[in-house]
Amino acid sequence: MTNSTGMRSAVCLAALIAGGAAHAEVTAAQVWADWQSQLAQYGEGSVTIGAEETSSGTLTVRNLGIRFSDDDIVAETLMSAITFNEQSDGTVRVTMDESYPVTVTGEDGVVITIDISQQNMEMIVSGDADALDYDITASQYKVALRDVVDADVTFTGDVEVAANDLKLSYQTAVGEMRDITYSGTVASIDLLVDFQIPGGDGEYVTAGGRMVDMQTQAAMTLPLDANFEDPDTMINAGFAFAGGYTIDSGDFVFDINADGDQTSGSMSTGTSTFTGEMNSTALGYSSNTVDVALSFLSSGFPLPIEINLAEYGAGFQMPTGASDEPSDFAFNLDMVDLSISDAIWDLFDAGNVLPRDPATIQIALAGKAKSLYDMFDPAQQDAFENAEMPFELSEVTLETLNIDAAGAQVSGSGAFTFDNTDMQSFAPLPRPEGEARVEITGFNGLLDNLVAMGLVPEQDVMGARMMVGMFARATGDDQMETSVEIDAGGQVRVNGNRVR
């Protein structure tokens, strides 16, 4: 919690120094006023200013202190000098300290000091007082751990993240709300971890990695009186965020010696994408990564482990605000062509009985539902958390069901609507109407293989065959199909036979 919040504070500080192209004339005082307006959102008393000096089109702010706090941590920083210099083309050039510290103090008294540094940073501000454009470039922007102090113990080590060849365009516009948009590219991001575990008798953690060609973009809306110390109220007042990133590739290595065990390995990925949104009516994200390869060796396990995935993805979407009309919800999970090394297969299948083809699991659900409460409204949160059914379900579609593993395949699809005026027939759910169909191939062959391997007793397999036979009909050689239909009257038919 302490580390993540400290990093968040550093990112918030970095976001205040970003930027777009020049056409109108802007003054140093207007840019500084925009900074002050944004800094005020950290809460009353969170910003201190040592002095402001103005001379010949240059405004210098000295000893700018920023403090963020919540129930768990206090994060503070101090910048010795920030200069806003008016240029002949109507823009303002901003310069600041090449490095400055961020100190994070936890409720347990542990103090973490992080150094923020920026090399060859160039920031130009243009536009007008109510719509400012920031352009920022830097050869490197780095966040690095200086030390951790816990009572009389001081811990040091290398823990850093460095963004190289950074180019960022950042725009702010003030009306009834503050609208912020940004886009940028980073040529590469370097990660480094190298430290001795305090009191660990030589135990250590080392890791390194690089992500290449990151592109990012986002749009955010903030209430003019936004207070980061009360995020739920801020969201309920109109905060909105939507954005994401793409990374072309990544490579990582690690070596950990802790608790008497040593683990080392590497991981590589192809293209990774992430998008997310959060506002008073919806919450969701979607992520996808291709060409994942992981290998590691542990002293606590006798064999090297190798795992490969052609594709991994996950996502969800849900309504968060009360509405008269249903809104979209969704969930998906994709694991495509998952394979493990033969050494791992041999641990439980030494006779090579099961097919070792890559496995795939894909599930996708979509539908519509109404949230009965405003999830981010503090006045409604207790009711939301204690409600037996905080959502009113309208429809559900099984868009994808694809499981292919160990010689067996399962596929399916289906769609149901729900009548919320009838909460008795299928309590506690509203009465459904629709049909779902599932096809299974290779089920009996898989059971035979499990028996041959000695993993499942024959008598247990017989029960499983009988159970599946009750609900599925044969459609071919070791092929089965099951259909479930619920009509408007609440009657349920399985493979055409009424069971309710």
> What percent of the chain shows pLDDT beyond 70?
95
pLDDT tens digit sequence for 272-324: 999 999 999 999 999 999 999 999 999 888 789 999 999 999 999 999 999 88
What integer pLDDT is reported at residue 354 of this predicted model? Answer: 94
Distance CA 448, CA 355 (A): 13
Contact between 64 and 49 under an 8 Å Cβ cutoff? The reply is yes
Beta-carbon count within 10 A of 282 CB: 18
Beta-carbon count within 10 A of 153 CB: 10
Cβ neighbours of residue 204 under 8 Å, at least 6 residues apart? 194, 195, 196, 197, 255, 256, 257, 258
Q: Give the HSE-up count for residue 171: Cα atoms under 13 Å, Cβ half-sphere.
A: 14
| Residue 478, Ramachandran bin (φ over 0: left; ψ between -120 and 50: alpha; else beta) | left
Contact between 312 and 288 under an 8 Å Cβ cutoff? The reply is yes
Cα angle 183, 189, 195 (rounded to 5 degrees) comes to 140
What integer pLDDT is reported at residue 278 of this predicted model? Answer: 95
Cβ neighbours of residue 228 under 8 Å, at least 6 residues apart? 12, 41, 42, 43, 68, 234
**Between β-strands 272-278 and 261-269, what pairing exists: parallel, antiparallel or unpaired?**
unpaired
pLDDT tens digit sequence for 474-500: 999 999 999 999 999 899 999 988 888
What integer pLDDT is reported at residue 303 of this predicted model? Answer: 87
Residue among 144, 48, 124 at smallest CA distance from 84: 124
What integer pLDDT is reported at residue 145 of this predicted model? Answer: 95
Contact between 224 and 178 under an 8 Å Cβ cutoff? The reply is yes
What is residue 3's three-state secondary structure?
Answer: helix
Contact between 321 and 375 under an 8 Å Cβ cutoff? The reply is yes
Whole-structure pTM value:
0.87
pLDDT of 111 above 80: yes
What is residue 488's three-state secondary structure?
Answer: coil
* Widest CA span in the chain: 92
Cβ neighbours of residue 181 under 8 Å, at least 6 residues apart? 170, 171, 217, 218, 219, 220
Cβ neighbours of residue 194 under 8 Å, at least 6 residues apart? 157, 158, 159, 204, 205, 206, 207, 208
pLDDT tens digit sequence for 46-72: 899 999 999 999 999 999 999 988 888
What integer pLDDT is reported at residue 138 of this predicted model? Answer: 97
Residue 3 banded pLDDT, cuts 50, 70, 90: very low
Beta-carbon count within 10 A of 149 CB: 17
Contact between 499 and 491 under an 8 Å Cβ cutoff? The reply is no
What is residue 300's three-state secondary structure?
Answer: coil
Distance CA 349, CA 450 (A): 10
What integer pLDDT is reported at residue 151 of this predicted model? Answer: 86
Tell me the mean pLDDT in the region 218-232.
81
pLDDT tens digit sequence for 383-407: 988 888 899 999 999 999 999 999 9
Beta bridge partners of 126: 133
What is residue 103's three-state secondary structure?
Answer: strand
The mean-pLDDT minimum among 245-249, 264-268, 465-469 falls in 465-469
pLDDT of 2 above 50: no
